[in-house]
């Protein structure tokens, strides 16, 4: 076994023994990612699964979800999208359990799924977000719709977004599950498209 493989296995052991709140966790995942992207991604999923009891704590989630997700997207958005979309348990952990569900990089990832017509994957992420007891779904859905609109407008240098019928239908299906004042506003905004 060469030194690179030995270091990789040592990193896996060290990551598995590291607490979710430990500030060195993202650094260890980054180091593992430099040797093997897929293994690091799998270890990230493993750590999230092992730390489910702590995922309601936003500070822990920044350390174990937000920072690693950001790193994976920065290194390879294509690989991250592929591996993330292939893992239903990971989608459930990030969007369905984390207190950071529907924020930061995972919000941007969800918006990109909607805008790139990966609607089955976006639907699964939204379904998980709806079931997340650590977040206010009503507010998160407003943020998702606002982000879809603003991202579309920024990318296309327009003032009014243009979404296809399937994108609007997907977003409306989740807006219908919203309770409170956001529901009427979001429904109107989507139907005007």
Residue 129 lies in a domain: no
Which residue from 102, 122, 106 is spatially nearest to 114, judged by alpha carbons? 122
pLDDT tens-digit profile, the chain (193 residues): 788 889 999 999 999 999 999 999 999 999 999 999 999 999 999 999 999 999 999 999 999 999 999 999 999 999 999 999 999 999 999 999 999 999 999 999 999 999 999 999 999 999 999 999 999 999 999 999 999 999 999 999 999 999 999 999 999 999 999 998 889 999 999 988 7
How many independent structural domains does the chain possess? 1
Give pTM, 2 decimals: 0.92
Residue 175 lies in a domain: no
Residue 112 lies in a domain: no
Residue 121 lies in a domain: no
Domain span holding position 32? 1-100
Residue 184 lies in a domain: no
Q: How far from 4 is each of 33, 43, 156, 180, CA to CA, in Å? A: 12, 17, 44, 55
Residue 27 lies in a domain: yes
């Amino acid at each position: 076994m060469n030194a690179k493989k030995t270091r990789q296995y040592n990193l896996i052991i060290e990551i598995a023994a590291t607490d979710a709140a430990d500030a060195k966790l993202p650094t260890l995942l980054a180091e593992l990612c430099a040797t093997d992207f897929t293994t690091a991604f799998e270890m990230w999923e493993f750590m999230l699964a092992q730390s489910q009891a702590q995922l309601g704590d936003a500070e822990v989630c920044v350390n174990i979800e937000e920072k690693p997700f950001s790193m994976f997207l920065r290194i390879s958005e294509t690989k991250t999208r592929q591996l993330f979309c292939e893992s239903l348990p990971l989608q459930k952990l990030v969007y369905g359990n984390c207190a950071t569900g529907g924020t930061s990089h995972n919000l941007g990832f969800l918006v990109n799924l909607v805008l790139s017509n990966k609607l089955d994957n976006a639907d699964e992420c939204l379904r998980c977000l709806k079931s997340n007891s650590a977040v206010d779904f009503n507010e998160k859905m407003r943020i998702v719709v606002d982000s879809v609109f603003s991202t579309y407008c920024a990318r296309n240098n327009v003032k009014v977004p243009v979404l296809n019928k399937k994108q609007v239908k997907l977003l409306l299906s989740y807006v219908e599950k919203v309770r409170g004042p956001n529901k009427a506003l979001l429904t109107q905004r989507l139907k005007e498209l």
